[in-house]
Structure 1
Amino acid sequence: MTTMKEIAERTGVSVSTVSLVLNGRDAGRVKPGIAANVRKTAKDLGYIPNPLARSLRTSKTKILGFISDEIATTPYAGRLILGAQDAARSLGYMLFTVNTNGDQDLEHHEIETLKRYDVDGFLYACMFDRPVDLPGNLDPLPTVLLDGTDRMGRAVSIAPDERRIGYDATRRLISVGCRSIAYIGAGGEDRPRINGRILADRYPADVLRERGYQDVLREAGMKADPDLVVHVDYNHSALESVETLFDGGHPDGFVCFNDARAWYVYLCAAQRNLRIGRDISVVGVDNHRLVAETLSPQLTTVDLPHYEMGYWGTLKLVSMIEHRGLDDMRPTDTVSPLPDLDAANAMIHCTLIDKSSVVSPDGR
């Protein structure tokens, strides 16, 4: 295995100079031409850094711990973890991921285990956006909370701007002339749970999305009709509720808490010979490919930024660990733009993706 000493002998510089260059600390200390020659020689010789030796020198292992409650079992976990992994890899870090299934004793044990691996910091991910009480044994390591907010306000966090989701979805329907807009939220037996334990009567995201829906109606001078709001889960009674909504309120636009609930609207419309994207308009939330792209016509939806939250959270965590700015590392090809890294409680403005379920302005 190639050593720094061999690189130093080949390039005619000292081992300390090679160390400065290969550890990225050469700026202002080593002439650019010499640094370039050292890097080229290291590459030509197949030099591979020794992470153990580096950790002994710097007291940093370049390992991040990723703790999740039940998110590893959800369909969106892959995007959240992928975003974190991509950012970690670009910064030379490795991600250790554990799932606790909402078990607090297991969670405490897993955090202590990761600490024994000398992780440099933690990403703590929630299954759904909500206020949480972070485990005390995450201290004193830097921690970033993904898809949630710290109830005590101590930890840095990132989450979707849920109110803006409802606002933008409703505004899109108003922009094409909808004047009787319904909101189909979550409810019934579909309540927020962790490990089978019910946490609340409604998802916090549902409350905020409905608030955004109401806010834009008021701004547009339109009455927020309680008869145009239903909260349903995923059973026959849910379908009956949406059928009653159709026949009683005759809405021409629908904002759905998620893409899956838009299916009820499509079914009721088909039963009544109404055409989605022509006679009525529908907007969902999730950008769930299995639903949004399978429904016909394809569903206009608001993308939930799981990849972006994972990526931003990792950048923020490493910036805290290394005490440096990383704004130049932000990707430009994400679906939703990333917030500034100096935010302590960041919210992502989620992107609305137009497909075919909203009436076009010219009615075609």
Structure 2
Amino acid sequence: MVTMKEIAKRTGVSISTVSLVMNHRDAGRVKPAIAAHVREVAEELGYQVNPMASSLRTNRTRTIGFISEEVATTPYAGGMILGAQSAASQLGYLLITVSTDGGMDEGEEIDALNRYGADGFLYAKMSNRVTGLPDRLKHSPVVLVDATDADGTIPSIEPDEYRIGYDATKRLVDAGCERIAYVGCSEPMIAQEGRLAGYRAALEEAGRKIDDRLIISVLNNGPALEAVSDLFDWERPDGFFCFNDARAWYVYECAARRGLTIGRDVSVVGVDNHRVFAETFSPQLTTVALPHFEMGYWAAAKVISMIEQRPLDDLQWPETTAPMPPLDAEIPAKVHCTLIEKESVRKA
């Protein structure tokens, strides 16, 4: 096993300098060029941090608890866990995931993570909602994922819902659609408010008058199909921005019943990039991808920066579908989501 002593001998610096660099405590203490050389030699020699020894020295276990509700059991949101695990591993931390679905007691799961000595926590929700932080977490480094606290004081990361609505609607405007409908969600949600506001802003920017008859809010059920069907018959939209890919199915179904072709007679943009919908629809659905991996990665990096009280300037950010905000972004940090071009929007 390669030791710090060997790295020090190879680089000509002291063991204490090597220790500072390997434990990410070199900022302001070691010249950047020397620190970079130490890391380069350590990688060349195959040096690996001994987590047990590091824990004894720093009183840290280098573990992060990921507490989720629905996330761990939702297939297309698994990228959130993957992103968090990727950042944690890159920075020398272990991610422990627990789910509070299926009757699991959230308090008991948090207590278990505390017994393992978790240094910090990620508290994740689905569908971007306002949430309260459990009392058991209030004295630990915590980052909210796909959620915001009511006071806006806890670091958090979420999709930029306004830009989702704006970008999706502008894509339909640019395609030449004249009557653009919004098939929204009837539940009170941050995502619904933001996407509807973005839809309105894109239309106003294009000089279009907002027609509330083209805006409906539905759930995923039979009445939703009926509401979209009525929208087709009464208002005859030629473009649809849908709150999510699941609601886009109603548009595809209603268009087929009327002999209309998606991507030619009617253009559709969804949200989620849900593989079951976005890839199996024919023609394939143009959609805005939600940044699950990006939110997980950013949140893990953020909580580690809080644990170690440093800006992580040496972190090599991965290439991602959507650009991630800086770690010092305002609360809540927002990810500008990427529109994935497929076949459901006609060419202008």
Change (3 A) 1:325 1:252: same
Correspondence for 2:344: 357
RMSD: 2.9
- Do residues 226 (structure 1) and 212 (structure 2) align? yes
**Secondary structure of the structure 1 residue equivalent to 2:128:** coil
CA distance in 2, matches of 1:102, 1:154: 30
Cα distance in 2, alignment partners of residues 152 and 37 from structure 1: 43
Match of 1:195 in 2: none
How far residue 29 of structure 1 moved from its aligned partner, in angstroms, is: 11
Aligned to 1:185: 184
2:300 maps to which residue? 314
Residue 261 of structure 2 corresponds to 275
Contact 2:160–2:337 (CA under 8 A) maintained in structure 1: yes
1:4–1:19 Cα contact (<8 Å) kept:
no
Segments of 5+ residues of structure 2 without an aligned counterpart are none
Report the counterpart of residue 228 of structure 2 in structure 1. Answer: 242
* Matched residue, 2:60: 60
Q: Is the 8 A contact 1:182 1:253 kept in 2?
A: yes
Tell me by how many angstroms 1:329 deviates: 2.5
CA change 1:330–1:360 in 2 (3 A) is farther
Instruction: Report how far residue 101 of structure 1 moved.
Output: 2.4
How far apart in 2 are the matches of 1:144 and 1:176? 39
Task: Specify whether residues 222 and 113 from structure 1 end up closer, same or farther in structure 2 by C-alpha distance, changes over 3 A only.
Answer: same
1:191 counterpart residue number = none
Task: Give 1:134-283 correspondences, 5 Å limit.
Answer: 134-187=133-186, 201-283=187-269
Matched residues in 2 for 1:269 and 1:258: separation?
Answer: 17
Instruction: Letter of the 2:176 partner, please give it.
Output: G
Pairwise CA distance, 1:97 = 0.7
Question: What is residue 69 of structure 1 aligned with on the other side?
Answer: 69
State the Cα distance separating 1:90 from its structure 2 match.
0.6
Distance in 2 between residues matched to 1:329 and 1:37, nearest whole Å: 14
Aligned length: 343
Q: How does 1:285-304 map to 2 (within 5 A)?
A: 285-304=271-290
User: Alpha-carbon deviation of 1:35?
Assistant: 4.8
Q: Structure 1 271/330 Cα, relative in aligned 2: closer, same or farther at 3 Å?
A: farther
Q: Is the 8 A contact 1:7 1:38 kept in 2?
A: no
Counterpart of 1:358, as a letter, is V
In structure 2, relative to structure 1, the CA distance for the partners of 1:61 and 1:254 (3 Å cut) is same
Aligned-pair distance for 1:64? 0.6
Please name the residue that 1:39 is paired with.
42
Structure 1 residue matching 2:229: 3-state secondary structure: helix
Change (3 A) 1:259 1:56: same
- Cα distance change of structure 1 residues 327 and 178 upon mapping to structure 2, 3 Å threshold: farther
* Counterpart amino acid of residue 81 in structure 2: I
* Paired AA for residue 62 in structure 2: K
1:113 is matched with 112
Aligned mates of 1:267, 1:30 — CA distance in 2: 61
Change in Cα spacing, 1:7 to 1:289, as seen in structure 2 (3 Å) is same
Opposite residue 236 of structure 1, the aligned amino acid is G
State whether residues 71 and 78 of structure 2, in contact with CA within 8 Å, keep that contact through their aligned partners in structure 1: no
Rounded to whole Å, the distance in 1 between the matches of 2:36 and 2:165 is 55
Whole-angstrom distance in 2 between the partners of 1:148 and 1:87: 19
Taking structure 2 as the reference length, the TM-score comes to 0.89
Identify which range, 229-238 or 149-158, moves more after superposition.
Answer: 229-238
Query: Cα 1:55–1:358, aligned 2, differ >3 Å: closer, same or farther?
Result: same
How much has 1:287 moved relative to structure 2?
0.7
Could you tell me which amino acid in structure 2 is paired with residue 94 of structure 1?
A: L
Whichever residue aligns with residue 349 of structure 1, its letter is H
Taking the aligned partners of 1:218 and 1:237, their CA distance within structure 2 comes to 30
**Deviation of 1:334 (Å):** 0.7
Q: Take 2:51 and 2:336, find their aligned partners in 1: how far apart are those partners?
A: 38
Q: Distance in 2 between matches of 1:127 and 1:241?
A: 26
Question: Structure 2 vs 1, CA of residues 3 and 327 (structure 1 numbering), >3 Å: closer, same or farther?
Answer: closer
Preserved CA contact (<8 Å) 2:7 2:38 = no
Aligned residue in 1 for 2:89: 89
Closer/same/farther in 2, CA of residues 231 and 330 from structure 1, 3 Å limit: farther
Q: 1:30 to 1:280 in 2, by over 3 A?
A: closer
For 1:14-38, what per-residue CA distance to the aligned partner results, in whole angstroms no more than 9, with x for missing partners?
8657655654667459978995897
Cα deviation, residue 160, structure 1: 0.5
TM-score, L = length of structure 1:
0.85
Q: 1:290 to 1:87 in 2, by over 3 A?
A: same
TM-aligned CA deviation for residue 154 of structure 1: 2.4
Structure of larger gyration radius:
1
- Counterpart in 2 of 1:192? none
Once residues 174 and 183 of structure 1 are traced to their aligned partners in structure 2, the CA distance between those partners, rounded to angstroms, is: 13
2:332 maps to: 345
